[in-house]
Amino acid sequence: MVKIQDIEINIESQKQAQLYYIKFILEKNGNPEAESLGEKFMQQYEKLLKEYKDVDIYDLHRYYRLITEFKPALLTILKPGNEFDMICDLAVKNFNGPLDRIRKQIKENRFTPAMKGPIMPGSSKAMDLKYLCTVCNQTFEIPTEIKEKLLNSDEKQSLPIHCEKEMVVKIIKIQEESKNTKKKEIELKILSAELLMGHIDSKEANVEYLNLLSVGIDVGSSTSHLVFSRLTLKREICFFNMSNRYILTNREILYEGNIIFTPLLDRNTIDIDAVVNFCREEYKKARITPEMVDTGAVIVTGETAKKQNAAEIVRRLSSESGKFV
């Protein structure tokens, strides 16, 4: 049975290969910053991988991490889109190469465990030292401090007497399991790069992107403000999106408006005209017209939602702020 520690993968080589293909695609698409973007990607990639340095013990763990952190690192230099998908498509193919090789080796059981040196007492929990009486053949525990001296000191250590004879030190193997108990062997399954990265070939999935200009208007108990954002939605036909719906993949804030105290005519009435005029001014500052807005929301929160004309301000702002708001 193949063990996970028997699997060897050249992690550094795989990282450099992915960096090469990122730069290649960026240069092919005429991006003048291909070199600097590639270096920035690698810096972020290394930073993300470093967080799991103590967790990922074996090569397979580290390789899986290499795949799962690829997209987050790529998002630091590219926004979701066709170029982003093109790089991910190629990355999946490259990542699957070693995984396919490992699956084949597991199937054929062609792994050769790495050669190891002799196991010395103290270097493995499976080995221990004990006193042995050569007369009665009985073993005794050695105190920890004495054991450390025996292992680390060059001086001869005096040994206790038993059966009127000096005992000897014996190296024994600790039995972790009883002879009658067999550890259940679990077959090692290798995951696919598609599953680990959460990405499927963009051509096969018929990927569609939709960019929307969104506005969010918040009329709160004490303050009011608005925000314009560029939303990137993605739809792909694959097992990651069985409902075939659009999924938000990126949100870029284009403009954050000023924050004002929510204007009131009295304790029960919102000054609708003042709020509407405030929003109009913010639209002008952002250089955005209501016709440019594709979607959005008007939110009346807190005590303001209890005002007499709360519903009216929602209708008024919705009608003047853009489509589907």
pLDDT of residue 191: 85
pLDDT, mean of residues 296-313: 88
Residue 178 scores a pLDDT above 60 = no
Question: pLDDT by residue (tens digit) across 10-23?
Answer: 999 999 999 999 99
Domain count, the chain: 3
State the pTM of this model. 0.53
Per-residue pLDDT for 244 more than 70? no
From CA 103, how far away is CA 169, in angstroms rounded? 46
Same domain, 16 and 84: yes
* Domain presence at residue 136: yes
Span 254-287, pLDDT tens digits:
999 899 999 998 888 999 999 999 999 999 999 9
Place 141 in a pLDDT band, splitting at 50, 70 and 90.
Answer: confident
Are 234 and 301 members of one domain?
A: yes
* Position 186 in a domain: no
The 3 state secondary structure assigned to the chain is CCCHHHCCCCHHHHHHHHHHHHHHHHHHCCCCCHHHHHHHHHHHHHHHHHCCCCCCCCHHHHHHHHHHCHHHHHCCCCCCCHHHHHHHHHHHHHHHHHHHHHHHHHHHCCCCCCCCCCCCECCECCEEEEEECCCCCCEEECCHHHHHHHHHCCCCCCCCEECCEECEEEEEECCCCCCCCCCCCCCCCCCCHHHHHCCCCCCCCCCEEEEEEEEEEEECCCEEEEEEEEEEEEECCECCECCCCCEEEEEEEEEECCCEECCEEECCEECHHHHHHHHHHHHHHHCCCHHHCCEEEEEECHHHHHCCCHHHHHHHHHHHHCCCC
Cβ atoms within 10 Å of 304's Cβ, excluding its own: 21
Last residue of a domain, one of 197, 230, 247: 197
215-226 mean pLDDT: 92
Mean pLDDT, residues 229-247:
70
Mean pLDDT (whole number) for 195-219: 75
Asked if residue 295 is part of any domain, the answer here is yes
230, 297: one domain: yes
Whole-number Å distance between alpha carbons of 284 and 101 = 59
pLDDT at 209 over 90: no
Same domain, 148 and 53: no
- The range of the structural domain enclosing residue 269 comes to 208-321
Average pLDDT over residues 159-179: 73
Is the domain of 92 the same as that of 148?
no
Average of per-residue pLDDT across 107-131 = 61
The answer on 82 and 152 residing in a single domain is no
Task: Tell me the CATH number at 275.
Answer: 3.30.420
Q: Assess whether pLDDT exceeds 70 at residue 120.
A: no
Same domain as 84, residue 8:
yes
Please name the amino acid found at residue 193: A
Q: What's the distance, Cα to Cα, between the start and end of the chain in Å?
A: 60
Question: Is 179 domain-assigned?
Answer: no
| Rounded Cα distance, 168 and 85, in Å | 68
Within a domain: 185: no
Residue 180 lies in a domain: no
Residue 178 lies in a domain: no
Q: Specify the pLDDT at position 74.
A: 93
Asked whether residue 158 falls in the same domain as residue 91, the answer is no
- Same structural domain, 98 and 132: no
Question: Looking at 81-95, 135-149, 199-213, which range is the least confident one?
Answer: 199-213
Same domain membership, residue 233 and residue 166: no
Q: Comparing 256 with 170, which gets the higher pLDDT?
A: 256
> What's the pLDDT at 119?
52
118 within some domain = no
- Mean pLDDT value of segment 77-100: 89
